[in-house]
Structure formats: structure tokens, C-alpha cells
Amino acid sequence: MTGLSARVIADLVAEVGPVWQARQDARREQRTRQRAVGAGAKHKLVFVDRLLATLVHLRHATTHDVLAAWFRVDRSTITRAINEIRPLLADRGCCIESGVRLKTIADVVTYLDHTRLTGLMDATEIRVRRPTVKRAGRHQFISGKSRQNAMKAL
């Protein structure tokens, strides 16, 4: 479902997991404790599930409702999980052959220009409401492919 091998996912868990745990611990330490250590509700969605839900969401643009049904949790849990994991993945960036990490689209474009390689960008069309008549650039939202009002998301 994620398009990644089990080895790559295991490497992601090993690399991003401790960072996520450190952020969770820091968040807990910021507020005054009102319960005993270990008390309270336990995570229904462990870190690996949070990572998988985020990867599936990023790859297929799956709605939070579908992911919530898949993992048997509430939609708000999925939303919170994706909002926690996406910045960690963005901070990690993408590693290329030479060991350099590319973190922004500008980095990718610069790297491709420098190495004279061709890059393939994956985009999907998301249907949107038609902009008002008086809005500038209204014609940019019309998709020739699906003949719908759409926006391209990379």
C-alpha cells in the first residue's frame, strides 16, 4: 500500500521513531502532571501504525475517514497522527545515492539540474468548487483531462 519495501519501512521506523518519542516526551514534560505516571488512556495507534497511515495518505491521498476505518480508530486520531508524522518525514528529507538529503522541491530541482538527470513528479487532481466569476485566474482551475474544476497537488 505504501509503495515501500519492508526494509525501507523498518529503516524509517528506526530513524524517525526515536525523534517522535522524544517529541512526545517533551510535550508531556511541558505541562504539569495531573495523573500518576502511566495513568490515562493508552495509544490505540502505535507509532508504526501512525507512520503507515501517513505513508498511505501521502501516496494515495486517502481520506482520513477511510484510514480511520482501516485502523479501527476515530478520524480525529488519524488526523492527529498524520499531523505529527508529516513534519518528521519532511525534516528527514529524501536520501539520494551520494548520501545527500533533499528536503525541499528547490533542492530536488537544483540536484536534477546539476546532475543532468530527469525527474518525474507525481501529481493528482483534486476536485474543487468553481471559483467565482470575478476571481482572477479562474481558468487555471479547469482540468482538460477530467473536465472538472480541479487543482493539481504534487
H or E element in which residue 95 lies: strand 94-95
- Tell me what pLDDT residue 91 has: 81
H or E element in which residue 13 lies: helix 6-30
For residues 93 and 111, is the Cβ–Cβ distance under 8 A?
Answer: no
- Tell me what pLDDT residue 122 has: 67
Q: Domain limits of the chain?
A: 6-31+39-95, 124-153
Taken in order 21, 24, 29, 34, the sign of the CA dihedral is: negative
The pLDDT tens digits along the chain (154 residues) read: 777 888 988 988 998 999 999 998 888 788 777 777 777 767 788 999 999 999 898 888 888 999 999 999 999 999 999 999 988 888 887 767 677 777 777 888 888 888 888 877 766 666 666 666 677 766 665 555 555 666 656 5
Q: Which amino acid is at 48?
A: V
- Tell me what pLDDT residue 124 has: 67
Adjacent-strand bridge partners of 142? 149
- Tell me what pLDDT residue 71 has: 92
Provide the terminal-to-terminal Cα distance of the chain, rounded to the nearest Å: 18
- Tell me what pLDDT residue 49 has: 93
Taking the C-alpha atoms of residue 54 and residue 67, their distance in angstroms, rounded to an integer, is 9
